[in-house]
Amino acid sequence: MKMQFISAALLAVCISQAAVAEESLLWALMTPLRQKELVPVENKLYKQECGACHFAYQPGLLPGKSWQKLLTHEALLDHFGEDADLDQEALKEIYDYALANAAEKSYHKRSRKIAISTAEGEPPLRITEVRYIKRKHHDIPDKMIKGNKKVKSLSNCNACHTEAAEGVFDEDAVSIPNYPKY
């Protein structure tokens, strides 16, 4: 009887530890469902239109509430200083695709982290403003990003993440141009 109590107590401690690591008990229990990395872009129109000026950011890199703000005619007319507006039909397809595949809709590792990181507060309009993403790049010196002709901006994910298009952002697939040893 006593042993049973001790093992139950131990189990409870283990679960609560796991819960802290995963940030919620539910997610700790659902870990087997969690998948690696991030879903690559599968929609042709999205890839074409949203990959025309920069890396085609996977919808799983931002929560739905961010895509809702970014993907309106009004917002796209002044999209970070550029006109990226789309016709009605294309906007609908891209909006629906982004919302259906937003961070909180995915079991993939990076999307989970981003969904948790953006659950509270104003929706970020940039991936580079997501707390989790900021934290991961915090230590990289400015000269390797802004001062680096082959990178220029942290927004150019694929300049350093060699498998970004496949949705892989793992440290093992990172190589900063001009700083191969970083």
Distance of alpha carbon 107 from alpha carbon 137, whole angstroms: 23
* Comparison of 7 and 175: residue with beta carbon closer to ligand HEC: 175
Single-letter amino acid, residue 62: L
Q: Considering only 7-15, 16-24, 27-35, 76-84, which stretch makes contact with ligand HEC by CB under 6 A?
A: 76-84
- Residues 78, 80, 96, 150: which binds ligand HEC (CB under 6 A)? 80
| Size of residue set near ligand HEC by CB under 6 A | 37
* Comparison of 16 and 31: residue with beta carbon closer to ligand HEC: 31
**CB of residue 140 to ligand HEC, shortest distance in Å:** 6
Using CB under 6 A as the binding rule, whether residue 136 contacts ligand HEC is answered as yes
Using CB under 6 A as the binding rule, whether residue 142 contacts ligand HEC is answered as no
Using CB under 6 A as the binding rule, whether residue 135 contacts ligand HEC is answered as no
- Does residue 22 contact residue 31 with C-beta atoms inside 8 Å? yes
Q: Where are the alpha helices (DSSP H) in the chain?
A: 2-22, 25-29, 44-49, 64-70, 73-77, 88-100, 109-117, 131-137, 157-160
Q: Considering only 5-13, 14-22, 115-123, 159-167, which stretch makes contact with ligand HEC by CB under 6 A?
A: 159-167
CB burial class (10 A; 0-12, 13-18, 19+) of residue 71? Answer: buried
CB burial class (10 A; 0-12, 13-18, 19+) of residue 157? Answer: buried
* Comparison of 25 and 96: residue with beta carbon closer to ligand HEC: 96
* Comparison of 16 and 51: residue with beta carbon closer to ligand HEC: 51
Residues 6+ away with beta carbon under 8 Å from 106: 38, 39, 60, 112, 115
Distance of alpha carbon 107 from alpha carbon 111, whole angstroms: 7
**CB of residue 33 to ligand HEC, shortest distance in Å:** 20
Residues that bind ligand HEC (CB under 6 A): 49-50, 52-54, 57, 61, 79-80, 82, 84, 94, 110, 126-128, 133, 136-137, 140, 144-145, 151, 153-157, 159-161, 169-171, 174, 176, 182
